[in-house]
Amino acid sequence: MAVRLAVLIFVGATAACSSPPGDDTAPTPVSAENSPALWDSRTDTAFDYQLGGAYPPPPGTAVVVRDSTDLPLAGLYNVCYVNGFQTQPDERDRWTGEYRDLVLKGPGGRPLVDEGWPDELILDTSTADRRRRIAEAVGSTIEECARKGFRAVEIDNLDSFTRSRGLLTAEDNLALAALLVRKAHDHGVAIGQKNAAELSERGRRIGFDFAVAEECAQFDECDSYSDVYGDHVLDIEYTDTLDVDFRQVCGRSDIPHVILRDRRLVAAGNPEYFYRRC
């Protein structure tokens, strides 16, 4: 969960998109002429990941990722964080009220939570109707990001099916992802796949433009992203789990952009704050 902007129109033409099983709403392929602009990966190599609170980024930063509740920074390439497959803690009442039938239920009808983030409920992507309605709700956040001036969105928790106790599948989540890709492109913003390295090729086929990876060096899966998204991969490693010297990570050719951060991603000025880049 941040001057140049010699932006590069992403010219890796989107592969022919096929609809995920059970859904016919995969986005139309985006041509090089009208695809959303990405950062220039040849020059704009420094980025910051500010999900725990906005703050002035370190000098030389070209790309910044901020929460959808924050504002973009002038002169930088701004990416907006959107939780697409689980609920945000401050929106729990909304999802257990107005959208309660879109929350995945376990035994006894109790909402299933992400055990790693127990304040987040897992959304039910199991049917085309639920996916459509989730996409409408999440799409309003994507639209707000675009209205604020963000150039891209990253959609978190594509891998929520792995925490669903077998109630959801990768195909369910990819079908919702296809709807969210269309929402983003309709609003003129690029959209990034978040984690789920094993789904990179399929994610690219449905229209994701770039990837945001957490701990791909630690789990030795960075090439699963870079083989598909090229230089448009942002990797965040964390101080509490990285078991090699960060300088070794910086020397790897399969990690185009990487930073080392504190787990809670707190704002600069907090005693827990840690940020390092290559």
The pLDDT, as a whole number, for residue 6 is 35
Place of tokens 């300088």: 247
- Conformational region of residue 52, where left means phi above 0, alpha means psi within -120 to 50, and beta covers everything else: alpha
| Euclidean distance between CA atoms 127 and 8, whole angstroms | 37
Given a cut of 50, the residues of the chain with pLDDT beneath it are 1-33
The pLDDT, as a whole number, for residue 41 is 86
- State pLDDT tens for residues 81-116: 999 999 999 899 899 999 999 999 998 999 999 998
pTM of the shown model = 0.88
Structural contact between residues 191 and 212, judged by C-beta atoms closer than 8 angstroms = no
Torsion angle, CA of 94/98/100/103, rounded to 10 degrees?
-60
The CATH classification number of 8-277 equals 3.20.20.70
The pLDDT, as a whole number, for residue 232 is 96
**Helix/strand/coil for 60:** coil
| Euclidean distance between CA atoms 32 and 107, whole angstroms | 47
**Helix/strand/coil for 139:** helix
* DSSP helix, strand, coil percent of the chain (3-state; round to 5): 30, 25, 50
Boundaries of every domain in the chain: 8-277
